[in-house]
Amino acid sequence: MTVISQLLNEPGVPPHEAKRLLTVATGRSLRELLADDEVGTEEAQRYLGLVRQRLAGVPLQHLEGTVQFGPVELRTDGRALVPRPETERLWEQAVDALGEAGPGTVIVDLCTGSGNLALALKHRFPPAGVYATDLSAGAIALAEENSRALGLDVTFLQGDLFAPLPAGLYERVDLLVANPPYVADSEFGGLPIDVRDHDPRQALVAGPRGDEVLERIAQDAYWWMGTGGWLFCEIGETQSERALGLFGSYLDVEVRSDLAGRPRILVGRKGGRCCV
């Protein structure tokens, strides 16, 4: 047996991560662990193995296997980006803007990854029809697994941006959300190791400039959105002006800040005021 305080005091990961890894290694809650104050030798070995992986840059969420996003718990692994807190902020704002939904309400999530935005929106607006697309077959498979595990009926479609959507949704989308890739080729090498080596490159890098996918969303969004429809799109913190220019000629637009005060959320509305 190994005393828990001894394990947690080993040099390595910060204390809050150490506690979470210990619960993964033992399958026991922190409360149970603290009550026992001891773990078996195998559990201790498993814990030290997880610490080694974490120190090598494997994201904590991959080691835990799940991540909470708004009201839904999602499986997460190397097939898609680990959903981020700033995207949760986008989800909250999109929910506030839409307000309510009926059976005719249409929600579209482009670049869905693990399905986080689409599934959290379906959870919040059960009557709405929710459609989500992603270029990556792995991401779509993960999103479908999450959809089944949560019992939330979202239509996941593999393909390029709007291309796989049913033509019947043309000019009918009430809420369009997207967290597209927005990193430039040249910025990729400077990303933190747990992002660069463990999130798919296709989820991060848009092309030589970084705004290529955003530009392509802007070319088509107007035609898919219904009158009064909302757009919420995550952008890089240096892309506000470009994003306002791309969407501002046909939507009422503004850029909002994330919790850290960085301008990260483009909000737009077709045929109505988006913001006060």
User: Residues in the site for ligand SAM, rule: CB under 6 A?
Assistant: 80-81, 83, 87, 111-113, 116-117, 133-136, 139, 160-161, 179-181, 202-203, 213
Q: Are 40 and 25 in contact (CB under 8 A)?
A: no
Nearer to ligand SAM, 25 or 154 (CB): 154
Q: Residue 219 is which amino acid?
A: Q
Q: Are 77 and 62 in contact (CB under 8 A)?
A: yes
Q: Residue 164 is which amino acid?
A: P
Nearer to ligand SAM, 4 or 59 (CB): 59
Residue 83 CB, shortest distance to ligand SAM, in Å, is 4
Nearer to ligand SAM, 95 or 139 (CB): 139
Three-state secondary structure call for residue 91: helix
Tokens of 54: 């974490």
Residue 66 CB, shortest distance to ligand SAM, in Å, is 14
Residue 161 CB, shortest distance to ligand SAM, in Å, is 4
DSSP state of 56: T
Residue 236 CB, shortest distance to ligand SAM, in Å, is 10
Nearer to ligand SAM, 181 or 229 (CB): 181
Residue 184 CB, shortest distance to ligand SAM, in Å, is 14
Residue 220 CB, shortest distance to ligand SAM, in Å, is 11
Phi then psi for 24, rounded to 5 degrees? Answer: -65, -45
Residue appearing with tokens 């220019």:
245
Q: Are 138 and 156 in contact (CB under 8 A)?
A: no
Nearer to ligand SAM, 26 or 179 (CB): 179
214's CB contacts (< 8 A; 6+ apart) are: 180, 182, 206, 233, 235, 239, 242, 243, 246
Q: Of all residues in this chain, which one has the CB nearest to ligand SAM in the complex?
A: 113
Look at residues 51, 221, 202 and name the one whose alpha carbon lies nearest to residue 137: 202
Nearer to ligand SAM, 206 or 225 (CB): 206
Burial of 276 (C-beta count, 10 Å sphere; 0-12/13-18/19+) = exposed
